[in-house]
Every structure is written in structure tokens, then in C-alpha cells.
Structure 1
Amino acid sequence: MSRRFASSLPSLLMTALAATPVLSAQQITSAQRSLIDSTVARLFDLKLAPGLGIVVVRDTQIVYVKGFGLADVEAGRPFTPQTVFYVASTTKAFTGLAAAILDAQGSFRLDAPLSRYLPGVKLRAPLNPDSITIRSLLTHTHGIGEGPVPMRLAYTGEYRGNDHLIELLAEHQPLPSRAYRYSNTGYNVATLAMDRVTGESWKATLDRLIFKPLGMRNTGANVSPFPVNRLAMPYRSTPDGFERLPYGKVDANMQSAGGLVTTLEDEARWLEAQLNQGRVDGRQVLPAAAVRVAQTIHARNEQTVRGVQVAGYALGWNVGQYKGDTLFTHGGGFPGFATHISFMPGRRIAIVTMANSGDLGSTLTELVAQAVYDALAGSPPLSGDSLTALRGLAAQQRAGIKADRDRRAARPQTTPLPFTAYAGRYENPVMGSLELTLNAEGKLEARAGAAWSAVEVFDGTRHQLRVELFGGGSVLTMEVEGERVVAVGMNGVRYQRVRQQ
């Protein structure tokens, strides 16, 4: 999604909905509920996603929860409060709170160096596991660059257990500094250490410390326990609608920086805990002190993002100001999925929005959340002129999608060698495997562990193919000797062809 589109839509919405004095914390009125319902419906009518879910909590009560559209277009299955949705990077707040709880228990210290829990771990100089703390890992101030660990954990699921991942950390380049830089890496590394301390997977730790105490019965870090007919299916935008994507998540690539599925109903219990320092249903089910630590800024990161003046990062939360109110917020995105979660402690309001489109849907989740906050502040309804402007920007984005598709479709889909010559298995000891196969229609498909993509020709004269394995387009440059393909290059990495037995 273009940055211009992502930033312009919320700006237009904020212009249309001027701030007014805040109401005291109370149950919303029927008029407010009707305004939320009509506003969300009008925004959903922009057709930025096939389905949308929203839950709003005030104090200790769900005051609005509803699904719009379809969780599964092909099956005609509606999006409901019970739909199981992949919430991507909003997982970080759960992982961060689990670490804070363990810190309070004294078993896993936030200010302990990584070397205490992973003795012998190797990092590239000048990185030093003696000076990188768990807190820095959870606040994106660790200085470890991208590499094989987050890619294997989030996409391919190819690894031989935690020891293998710890070994691969030596392949990560250092960043230029330890300044805040958002990524999945720190959370992945932190839970490698957490697992060593607890003797269990981070998945089991979150279930034991958070999901079960909160009564989140339809939340988990594995996909397999949930029947397919309960899952929201992923889609991407086309010039005139949406097309289905493969469901890119399996148990093996559900990871601690983005690896939970949940429902609107369960998210409401999580929101109630955030608003009430760990109290749910009138009981203290999570340690209040740990919740406060998780909600404290630990790293400065001053910027303005979609109308929010961000001040810094807590444990899985961006913390800032929206129209004068303190806001805790985080987004989550993956091909076919977009999630927004936020809460305003001063106004005692919390919101989760979910959309099963990862491109335009991410803007929809932000628009809806901001519109609800404004509606509950007594702002005037979204105007017809603003909706017209929003439709225009959506149309521009779809036009960009069409232009990109037309450009790709104009490329000749021929290669010097037959497709069978490119088919085969390729491996890299650091990044894993890449397999190209022919389907029943004679077209190439690519797979890297759990990640799958159709293959198109990028530049046949240069033996170049194009895939979308890791959330964006990548060019495969096939290395040819005579008429035999011996290797493939992708994203600067060389994968050697494996001789078939």
C-alpha cells in the first residue's frame, strides 16, 4: 500500500471529525451506538476489504461488537464476533506482558543480559550478548539486523528447534546503532531466551500466563486446533474487487512477534485487562505491576503516524497522543490480514478492528478505529464530502494496482529454457530451501517451507522469474551453465540446486 494513501485517508477523516469535549466514562447511549454502527457501515462500504470485525470496550463492558461482510467469500461465510482471525504483530503486546510477568516472578529479568539465558550465543561484532538486555530486545533497541531467524520463523517455518535458530543468529548483520528500529527480530530472540528459562515454548507460556487466566478460550499460538470453517480467509485487492490468497500460516510459522489467532470476543477480555490493570470480571487475573511495566515507555521513538503523535514504545505498544488523549496502539499486518488494537486509558475506551485484506484493509482498520473514538467524543458524523474524497483515494489506489498488474501482464512469459529446466529444489545453508515445481497446468509454482507463490516470468532473456513468497515481490535469477540450471539468486542470497536422487 502506498504511504500517500495510508496517510491521506486518516487525515481526511480527522479533518471531517473535529474533536469535542470528552464524555465521562459510562455506558454509551443508543444514539452513540447508532452513530458507530452507521459510521462503520459507511466506511466498510468503501470496499477496502471483504470482511471487517470490530469490538469496542468501555470500562469493563463490551459496548459494541459486530462483523461486516464475509470472512470467507467463496463459502459465503459471514464475519462474526466468533470468527478466528490471525492478528499478526499485535502478538507483541502479549509476548511483552508475559516477559513482564516472568520478570515480576523473578525468573526472567528484563534487565538481564541475553548472555545470562543463552550462554555461548554468537553475534557479529560489535554486537555483544553481554550488553543486549531482554528489555532492549522487546523495545527494538538491540541493534541486531535482519537475517534468517525472523524469516524462518514468520514465513518458511524451516528450522530444527531453538538451538538451530540460536546458531543462525551469528548470520545477522549488526545495525548501524542501537537506536529504535522496529522489526520482529528482538521478540524472536527474547523468546528463545524465555523458552530456555521456562522449559516450555513461548506458546505454552502465553497460554499459561495470559490466555487461560483471562478466559480467552478461542485464542492460541497454533492454527491447527481451529477448524477451517471458523477461520477468516486472506484476500488481496484487485482492480475491481478481491482475490483469495493462500492461508500463509501454519503452526510452524506462528512466532512470538506475530503468531496468534483470536476472536473479537476474546480480544474484548484482553482490552478489559488493559483498561483495568489486569482485572477482568471483577477479579485481579493478571499482576497489576506487570501490566504497568508493559504499559510504560521504555524506548523513545518520536514520530507522527496517521494522526497519532507517538512518543515511544512500551512492551508491544506504541504510546502517544491522539487529539490530546493518551493512546496505546499497535497494528498487525500479513498478506491478507490487517489488525488494529488500541486503548485510551483516560477515556476508558479500547478498540480492536480486523480486516481480511492486508493492503487496503490496513487503512480500513485505522479509519474505523479513529472514527469510533471521534464518535464517542461527540464529534459530528462523517460527512458525505469526506466519504466522496475517501472513495476517490481508494479508486486511485485500485488504479495503481491495475497499472502494476498491466505492467506485469505485458512482460513476455517465455524463457530460453523450458519451465521443466527451472523446476527443482535449491538450498542455502543459512536461509533454507526454495522449491520450484510444475502444476497441472504446466505453470511454475514456488515454495519456501510453508510459504507458497505462483511464479511469473520477469525477464525471460535473463532467466529471471518473479515470486511473492515473503509479502512482496522478489526476482529469482536463475544461474545457468549450458542448458542446466545450477543455482538461483533471490534477495542477494544464492541457493544451490540439489541433485535429485
Structure 2
Amino acid sequence: MDRSRKSSFASALLAACLLATTAHADPTPLRGPALDQEVARLMQAAHVPGLALAVIENGKVVHLKAYGQRDLERQLPLTVDTVMYAASITKAAFTYATLSLVDQGKLDLDTPIDKLLPKPLPDYDKYADLADDPRWRKITPRMLLTHRAGFPNFRNFPPGATSYDPNGKLKIYAEPGSRYAYSGEGINLMQFVLEHGQDVDVATLMQKQLFDRFGMRHTSMTWRADFAGNLAIGYDENGKPLGHRQRGSVRAAGSMDTTPRDYAQLLAGMVRADGLGAKARAEWLKPVQRIRSITQFPTLDTATTHDNDGIRLSTALGVTVYQSPRGTAWFKTGHDDGTNNLAFCLQNARDCVLIMSNSSNAEGLYLYLLDAALGPTCYPWFWESDVPYDHPQWRTPEARTQPHPPCAPVGRAS
């Protein structure tokens, strides 16, 4: 298919998506008691013990509320100031902070890391596995921050692995820059480049550029003793308590502890582009490469789909972007055992939703909570593996072979 035909095909898909959305969904967002009631109903139906929800309109937080409990055994309520694990929404925050270095002329996103480090990457013990693969020299900060360096998610979970491999070696599985493959390993390498090649302490960078700027007093890249007094306990899909790991080292891919209030303030600042100069603003949400994987995980699966062509799903710096019924949308999720988080924004309107939960079941509510708080968004829930809780059949391997266009109506259980 030539370029013009591809463009026409994508435009037709987008039009069909928007028509389906308009025809089948109530576009009126919920607020006040109606929103509270819907959140409570969904939490009960999906067996989610605790969840916090923030809604941002035109760059301002207009709704911030916590529901349920942070500790079931002790019957302690979740609050908007409860410390929760950020998981991978740390990546979006780290990237946003890193863009300040672009404005300052301290970082060029397209300079190969070979030029940013004082010695070859494989000369560092942590990256010695790459000694026989010169492709590492092609990797740039932009590739690392858009998940296009060719790495697996983490070296201890290589492609095809079904469990953690303590002897896993770091490898480049795809030509750098050739495709999207989600990689915490790549984000951590970006941190390594800043710290070892640019003399930038990432904890200090985050504190100065984000935590101080946005009043995030209960947020840190490592565990703080004062967090213990109001802490969320994570729960798995069956309600088993998992505790809260105290992370002692800074990891840009996901070591942040924060609160719903703090991250809501950050998200509002991000959708306003506070702290970014003209150069960084021009780079931040620019689509870098189209995403055509069926699902985000497994990260290096080569199977493709056209389901998301209509919304132009693409990778950008630190986030994923697409065209929603209301213009450019961007989002980042954070998932770990006992943690489900979603930061989602409609950039043109500067409207956002933040969902933070201490339950592995909360991802099953994302689509419905977005619809409730913002109206139809065409969120690519199947690609993100955020399958609605009342459609377990879409979690089966067979579901990957079926179409799941993001704007199509989703039948809800009564």
C-alpha cells in the first residue's frame, strides 16, 4: 500500500472510530456524588480494595478523592495523602525532568550515547554483556526514552522467558531505532548515561525539577522512614496482601513512592508544560514512531495489527500518544504486583485523569473510569492489556487474534 493510500486508510479508520464512539457512548462526564457512586460501584464489582482518582480540567485539579482502604487487615482508609508505589508512571516523570536538560543545552536527544559517556559502554561492568555487539553505539537518548533501543523490558526477563532468570544477559534484540519495544532496561540506561556521562544525579534532578516545583512533599525516588505512618499495602488479584517494598536505590524505570495528591499536582503541571522551555515543549509529545504491536507485552513479539491505525498510536518521549475524539491524548501506566496506576491526559483541553490503586485488579476499571470522568477517549485498552473486569474472555490467548479497535463500543455487564 502506498503512502497516500495508507494515509486515507488511517483517516477512514479514525472517522469510523469517532462515529462509533459518538453513537454508543454517553459523552457527558460525571462529577460530584454521581462520580463517587460510579467509582464505588466499579470497585466493588472488580474487587478493588483501594483507589484514588484525580480529575484535572484545563490544567487544574477539580476532583481529588480516595476510596476504600489502604490496609484491609487494620481497616485503615486510603487517603489522597497515602504513600503509594508509583511503579512505571515514574518513567513519565523522569522523562519530563530530563527534558529540562534539553532546554539547558546539556543534552541532545539524538547524540549517540557513545559520545555522552567517558568510556565505551561495555567497559562498565553493568553493560559488559554488550562487548560483542557494536550496535550499542547507535543508541541515542531519544531511542531510550521512546523504548526503541532494541532491549527487552529487563535483562532478567528475556524474550520467551516465563519466569525470572538470575543469569539473564543483556542483549540487543532489534536494530536500535527500528521498532517500539517497551523497556525499563532502556530507561535505566538513560539514567546511567546522565549519571556517568553528564554528571547529573537523577535523585537531585527529580527533586529540583519536579518535587520542589510542584509541592510534592511526600514523594521520593527512594524509601523514606516518614512514609510508614500512612502507607498503602498492595493486594494481588485474589486479595492477598503483598506489603510495600522499601526501595533503597534510585531507578528511573520505577522506584518512586508518591501520593495521589502529589502526582495529581505533577500531572496538572505536565499537561500545562510547566518548567519546559520552547525547545523541550516542541519535542515532548511529538510522535516518534507508530506502534503496531498487538499488545505492549510481550515487548519483543513481532506480531502486528492495524487495530490502532485509526488513532495513530505512537511512542513519544516518556509516554504513549494517539489521536482521540478530542485531539492529542497521552498516557502512561504503572503496573506491579499489588499496584495499578494510570496517568492520562487530553492535551488540547488540558484535561486529565489520574488513577492510583493498591490492587492488581484496578486495570480492569481504567476504560470505564476514563469514560465516566472524561467521556469517550478511544483509550487503547487492549494494547495496554487493561482488559475490562467484566470481559475476562479477552484475556485469553485466542483474544489476540481478534480485532479490538479502541473506539468500538464495549458491552458492559449489567
Which TM-score band applies after superposition, normalised by the shorter structure?
0.7 to 0.9
Q: CA deviation at 1:270?
A: 1.4
Task: Give 1:262's aligned amino acid.
Answer: T
Q: CA deviation at 1:274?
A: 2.2
Q: CA deviation at 1:318?
A: 0.6
Q: CA deviation at 1:175?
A: 0.5
Aligned to 1:210: 210
Task: Give 2:93's aligned amino acid.
Answer: F
Contact 1:277 1:288 in 2 (8 A): no
Q: CA deviation at 1:366?
A: 4.1
Q: 1:258 aligns with which of 251, 254, 279?
A: 254
Distance in 1, matches of 2:353 and 2:252, equals: 22
Contact 2:329 2:345 in 1 (8 A): yes
Distance in 2, matches of 1:177 and 1:207, equals: 34
Q: Secondary structure at the residue paired with 1:45?
A: helix
Q: 1:18 aligns with which of 19, 24, 34?
A: 24
Shift in alpha-carbon separation, 1:392–1:16, aligned structure 2, 3 A: farther
Distance in 2, matches of 1:335 and 1:17, equals: 37
Contact 2:332 2:344 in 1 (8 A): yes
Q: CA deviation at 1:375?
A: 8.1
Q: Deviations over 1:148-173 (max 9, x none)?
A: 4899xxxx9x9xxxxxxxxx99x412
**Unaligned runs of at least 5 residues, structure 2:** 1-19, 123-129, 159-163, 297-306, 379-387, 397-414
- Confirm whether residue 39 of structure 1 aligns to residue 56 of structure 2: no
Aligned to 1:247: 244
Shift in alpha-carbon separation, 1:55–1:207, aligned structure 2, 3 A: same
**Unaligned runs of at least 5 residues, structure 1:** 1-13, 23-27, 159-167, 279-284, 378-389, 401-501
Shift in alpha-carbon separation, 1:315–1:147, aligned structure 2, 3 A: closer
Distance in 2, matches of 1:361 and 1:221, equals: 23
Q: CA deviation at 1:331?
A: 0.7
Q: Deviations over 1:270-297 (max 9, x none)?
A: 122222221xxxxxx4435424422222
Distance in 1, matches of 2:222 and 2:154, equals: 24
Aligned to 1:295: 285
Aligned to 2:230: 230
Distance in 1, matches of 2:219 and 2:180, equals: 30
Q: 1:339 aligns with which of 338, 341, 349?
A: 341
- Confirm whether residue 134 of structure 1 aligns to residue 141 of structure 2: yes
Q: Secondary structure at the residue paired with 1:55?
A: strand
Q: CA deviation at 1:391?
A: 7.2
Shift in alpha-carbon separation, 1:349–1:146, aligned structure 2, 3 A: closer
Distance in 1, matches of 2:323 and 2:187, equals: 25
TM-score calculated relative to the size of structure 1: 0.61
Q: Which has the larger radius of gyration?
A: 1
Q: Secondary structure at the residue paired with 2:68?
A: strand
Distance in 1, matches of 2:364 and 2:187, equals: 25
- Confirm whether residue 271 of structure 1 aligns to residue 263 of structure 2: no
Q: CA deviation at 1:353?
A: 0.3
Distance in 2, matches of 1:82 and 1:17, equals: 39
- Give the total of aligned pairs: 342
Contact 2:287 2:315 in 1 (8 A): yes
Aligned to 2:201: 201
Q: Secondary structure at the residue paired with 2:174?
A: coil
Q: CA deviation at 1:32?
A: 3.5
Shift in alpha-carbon separation, 1:17–1:69, aligned structure 2, 3 A: farther
Task: Give 1:243's aligned amino acid.
Answer: K
Q: Secondary structure at the residue paired with 1:95?
A: helix
Distance in 1, matches of 2:142 and 2:110, equals: 6
Task: Give the root-mean-square deviation of aligned CA atoms.
Answer: 3.5
Q: Secondary structure at the residue paired with 1:210?
A: helix
Task: Give 1:267's aligned amino acid.
Answer: Y
The structure carrying a bigger strand percent of its residues is: 1
Q: Deviations over 1:234-291 (max 9, x none)?
A: 11122xxx11113234223x5101121111211222122222221xxxxxx4435424
Q: Percent identity?
A: 25
Contact 2:102 2:279 in 1 (8 A): no
Contact 2:370 2:376 in 1 (8 A): no
Q: CA deviation at 1:111?
A: 1.2
Q: Deviations over 1:403-428 (max 9, x none)?
A: xxxxxxxxxxxxxxxxxxxxxxxxxx
TM-score calculated relative to the size of structure 2: 0.73
Q: Write the mapping of 1:79-118 to structure 2, written as runs, cut at 5 A.
A: 79-118=78-117
Q: Write the mapping of 1:379-418 to structure 2, written as runs, cut at 5 A.
A: 393=391
Q: Which has the higher contact order (CA 8 A, sep 6+)?
A: 2
Contact 1:143 1:174 in 2 (8 A): yes
Q: Secondary structure at the residue paired with 2:173?
A: coil
Distance in 2, matches of 1:301 and 1:231, equals: 37
Task: Give 1:269's aligned amino acid.
Answer: Q
Q: CA deviation at 1:339?
A: 0.1
Distance in 1, matches of 2:38 and 2:203, equals: 37
